[in-house]
Amino acid sequence: MKEQIDINRLPQHVAIIMDGNGRWAKQHGAERTMGHQHGIQPVRDVSEAAAELGIKYLTLYAFSTENWNRPAEEVNMLMHLLVDTIEKETPTLNKNNIRLLTIGDTDRLPLAVHEKFERCIEQTSANTGLNLVLALSYSSRSEITQAMQDIARMATYGGVRVEDINEDFVSSCLQTKNIPDPDLLIRTSGELRLSNFLLWQMAYTELYFTNICWPDFDKQEFYKAIIDYQHRERRFGKTSEQVTK
C-alpha cells in the first residue's frame, strides 16, 4: 500500500484522535486499561510510518482535559503508561530523528510526569525529522480562551491595537503557534466528532474516520488514510476550476 502514496503530495501535518481503546478491551473480554496498553504499539507504528514517509508533524490526542473526569484508577494508569512509554522510547525517538513536543495544560499533570516529558522534549530538541506533538490535558476551547485573555491583556497594557488583531495574530497566540494547521485528521473507532481538538486549527482540515479501534490501527491503516487524503480536492472555499488551474 505504501507504494501507492505520492511522496510529493504528503500532508505536512496529520492529527489523530486515538479512540476506541475501551471498546477494544471490552470486545476482547479485558479491562479498559488493557485497551490503553494495546494502544502503545499503534503509537510506535504510526510515528515510525510518518517519520519514514517524511511527514513533518504528527499530533496525537493522548489525554483531553475532559479525561480528568474518568475514574481515578484509569487516570493513574494512563499517566503511568505515558511516563513509562516516553522514558522507554526516548532513545528510539532520537534514533529516528523525531522531536517531541507537547500542547495542553501540562502543568496539571503529576509533577513526575511533567518532568519526564520536559526531559524528553529537551533530549530530542535537536532532532530535525518528524515533530511528534502530544496533546496532553488538552482542550481546544480552553486554549482559545487562554489566547483571548492574552490578547485582551496585550490590548489593555501592551499597546496592541484592535486593528492589529487578525487571524494570523490569533494563531500566533495559540499553543500551536509554530506548527502548521493539520492537513488531515484521522479518528478511529467510528465516532464522528472533533471532541474539543484543535478547533481553530482544523478550519480546513480533511477529516478521515475509520471504524477500526485504535489498538488495531497499524501502518497499513495509516497509509490508507494518506491515500484517501491524496484523492481529495482541497478547495479552501474556492471553486474546483480555480484550484485545478
- Whether 164 sits among the annotated catalytic residues: the reply is no
Binding window for ligand FPP (CB under 6 A); candidates: 36-44, 138-146, 178-186, 233-241: 36-44
- Report which of 47, 52, 139, 138 is spatially closest to residue 86, judged by C-alpha positions: 47
Edge-to-edge strand list for the sheet holding 57-64 = 99-103, 131-138, 57-64, 13-17, 184-187, 206-209
For residue 83, the SS3 value is helix
Given 82, 100, 103, 186, the residue binding ligand FPP (CB under 6 A): 82
Given 10, 14, 62, 77, the residue binding ligand FPP (CB under 6 A): 62
Cβ-based nearer residue to ligand FPP, 53 or 60: 60
The reply on whether position 10 binds ligand FPP by CB under 6 A is no
Burial class of residue 64, CB neighbours in 10 A (0-12, 13-18, 19+): buried
Q: Residues 19, 21, 127, 216: which is the catalytic one? A: 19
The reply on whether position 67 binds ligand FPP by CB under 6 A is yes
Residue 116 identity (one-letter amino acid): K
Residue 193 identity (one-letter amino acid): R
Given 36, 99, 187, 224, the residue binding ligand FPP (CB under 6 A): 36
- Whether 19 sits among the annotated catalytic residues: the reply is yes
The reply on whether position 136 binds ligand FPP by CB under 6 A is no
The span from the CA of 167 to the CA of 197, in Å, is 19
User: Least separation, in Å, of the C-beta of 245 and ligand FPP?
Assistant: 41
* Cell 481503546 -> residue: 21
Touching ligand FPP, residues 204-233 (CB under 6 A): 214
* Cell 491515500 -> residue: 227
If phi > 0 it is left, if psi is from -120 to 50 it is alpha, else beta; for residue 59 that is: beta
Are the C-beta atoms of residues 125 and 99 closer than 8 Å to each other? yes
Given 11, 39, 104, 182, the residue binding ligand FPP (CB under 6 A): 39
The reply on whether position 34 binds ligand FPP by CB under 6 A is no
Residue 164 identity (one-letter amino acid): D
Given 20, 117, 135, 147, the residue binding ligand FPP (CB under 6 A): 20
User: Least separation, in Å, of the C-beta of 220 and ligand FPP?
Assistant: 18
Cβ-based nearer residue to ligand FPP, 68 or 169: 68
Positive or negative, the CA dihedral 132, 44, 67, 214 is positive
User: Least separation, in Å, of the C-beta of 156 and ligand FPP?
Assistant: 38
| Catalytic machinery residues | 19, 67
The residues of the shown chain that bind ligand FPP, judged by CB under 6 A, are: 18-23, 36, 39-40, 43, 60, 62, 67, 81-82, 85-86, 134, 189, 214
